[in-house]
């Protein structure tokens, strides 16, 4: 049994640093830069801040300033920058990738709802973007934003969506093809893309989360050429360099089309963002206190939350909230589970139900996260509450029920003594404390 993170909705502590507004406006931070092991094939110098007006009238009073560097600390370093190859599903790859990768949708940071990114609107049955056909198939249509271009100025087109699909379905690549493999036909336009699935499914909402630039990637070695550098950006920043073991740096994308809905100004405001890799939680906290980093998202724990909240009088902002992944227990079913537990009975359903009934989720939240978030009853309830059926709620904390199920598991497996092995990462204080809770 293993404790994992998954990219749906997680318990998280997001921390905005001392005087972050000042840093974003014009301050700088020590990035620890040295000679880069990997640099982007494009310029690494941030372009001048874009003009927000083409007239001679005075700037609006609510206009926000441009410039500055923000340093984000994380305890993980990406194994690759390519989100589609092995290792690309690592969370830090997604965190950094938000700076320069784009797809059909993104997650709103406040509501956690899906919102359009490369397309004008998310397709639904109501707006005509989704049609359930008489033959049982389902057609989905995307209208790509006219202003959407890659960082090299090439328009993002339906051909890029088709190339992305062809890349994912390439049998020579070890890419997960779930749902993509159900696409039976496509139609490509300059600023449109349409595909038909063999049967209706809500999973179409998760397709094309990352779109690839055909003009830049076609003809390259996709599995090897894009691990240490990135293709032209579709996001607000451009990959600049990766100092292995130290940081990844991204700089402003001068061709980014996004605007601030409040002011109408071209985004982004920052000159650059540096993702600094600090393996240990204590070291991350030390760097934060020393104002060497501006934003941290450390593993959640009661002690850490309280220690950081103590810094608020000095100007720190601390937020404990549901994030974009969820912490959960995962049963291992492969043969490797017998290496650590030769007596594993994870394949027994009653045993798994028994374990579920021994977990006091409310206690875990109270002890590790100081009660600042709520346990989930479904992995979709945070970002799609309307379709959540609360399937996990049937597994309440019930030791008596757990004992009954364990008795059934013993009878079914013939094992009088049932051994459970819990493994997790040692550099995550919250997970270590979780293992201690399981022993009480």
Question: Higher confidence at residue 252 or residue 388?
Answer: 252
Q: What is the pLDDT of residue 337?
A: 86
State how far the alpha carbon of 38 is from the alpha carbons of 42, 72, 140, 246, 273, in Å: 12, 19, 39, 12, 16
- C-alpha closest to that of 266 among 255, 274, 276, 282: 255
Q: What is the pLDDT of residue 438?
A: 73
Q: What is the mean pLDDT of residues 84-103?
A: 94
| pLDDT of residue 374 exceeding 60 | yes
Q: What is the mean pLDDT of residues 382-388?
A: 68
Count how many Cα atoms sit within 13 Å of the Cα of residue 400 in the half-sphere of its side chain. Answer: 0
| pLDDT of residue 301 exceeding 90 | no
| pLDDT of residue 66 exceeding 90 | yes
Tokens of 266: 């071209």
Q: What is the pLDDT of residue 237?
A: 98
pTM of the model: 0.68
Q: What is the mean pLDDT of residues 34-62?
A: 41
Burial class of 153 by CB neighbour count within 10 A (0 to 12, 13 to 18, 19+)? exposed
pLDDT 10s digits, 242-272: 999 999 999 999 999 999 988 999 999 999 9
Q: How far apart are CA 41 and CA 231, in angstroms?
A: 9
Q: What is the pLDDT of residue 39?
A: 46
Residue pair 428/12 in contact by the 8 Å Cβ criterion: no
Q: How far apart are CA 79 and CA 92, in angstroms?
A: 9
Domains and their CATH numbers in the chain = 113-226 (3.90.76.10), 326-438 (no CATH)
Helix or strand holding residue 361 (H, E): helix 361-369
Q: What percent of the chain has pLDDT over 70?
A: 81
- C-alpha closest to that of 256 among 161, 186, 152, 160: 152
């Amino acid at each position: 049994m293993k404790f994992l993170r998954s990219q749906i909705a997680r318990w998280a502590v997001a921390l905005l640093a001392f005087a972050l507004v000042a840093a974003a406006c014009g301050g700088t931070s020590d990035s620890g830069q040295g000679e880069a092991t990997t640099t982007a094939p494009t310029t690494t110098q941030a372009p001048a801040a874009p003009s927000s007006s083409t007239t001679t009238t005075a700037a609006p009073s609510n206009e926000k300033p441009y410039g500055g560097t923000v340093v984000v600390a994380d305890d993980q370093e990406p194994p690759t920058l390519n989100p589609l190859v092995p290792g690309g599903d690592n969370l830090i790859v997604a965190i950094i990738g938000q700076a320069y990768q784009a797809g059909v949708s993104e997650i709103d940071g406040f509501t956690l709802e899906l919102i359009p990114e490369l397309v004008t609107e998310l397709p639904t049955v109501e707006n005509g973007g989704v049609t359930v056909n008489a033959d049982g198939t389902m057609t989905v249509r995307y209208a790509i934003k006219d202003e959407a271009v890659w960082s090299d100025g090439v328009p993002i087109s339906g051909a890029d969506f088709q190339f992305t699909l062809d890349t994912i379905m390439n049998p020579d690549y070890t890419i997960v093809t779930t749902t993509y493999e159900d696409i039976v036909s496509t139609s490509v336009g300059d600023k449109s893309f349409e595909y038909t699935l063999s049967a209706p499914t809500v999973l179409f909402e998760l397709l094309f989360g990352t779109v690839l630039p055909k003009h830049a990637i076609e003809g390259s070695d996709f599995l090897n050429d894009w691990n240490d550098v990135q293709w032209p950006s579709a996001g607000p920043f451009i990959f600049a360099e990766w100092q292995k073991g130290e940081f990844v740096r991204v700089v402003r994308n001068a061709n980014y089309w996004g605007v601030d809905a409040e002011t109408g100004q071209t985004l982004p405001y920052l000159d650059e963002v540096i993702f600094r890799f600090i393996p240990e939680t204590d070291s991350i906290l030390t760097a934060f206190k020393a104002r060497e980093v501006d934003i941290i998202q450390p593993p959640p724990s009661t002690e850490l939350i309280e220690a950081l909240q103590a810094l608020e009088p000095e100007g720190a902002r601390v937020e404990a909230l549901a994030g974009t992944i969820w912490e959960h227990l995962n049963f291992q079913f492969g043969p490797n589970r017998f290496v650590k537990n030769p007596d594993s009975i994870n394949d027994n359903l009653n045993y798994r139900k028994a374990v579920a009934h021994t977990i006091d989720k409310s206690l875990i939240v109270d002890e590790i996260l100081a009660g600042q978030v709520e346990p989930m009853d479904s992995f979709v309830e945070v970002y799609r509450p309307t379709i959540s059926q609360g399937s996990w709620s049937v597994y309440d904390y019930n030791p008596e029920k757990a004992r009954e199920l364990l008795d059934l598991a013993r009878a079914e497996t013939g094992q009088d003594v049932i051994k459970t092995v819990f493994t997790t990462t040692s550099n995550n204080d919250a997970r270590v404390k979780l293992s201690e809770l399981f022993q009480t």
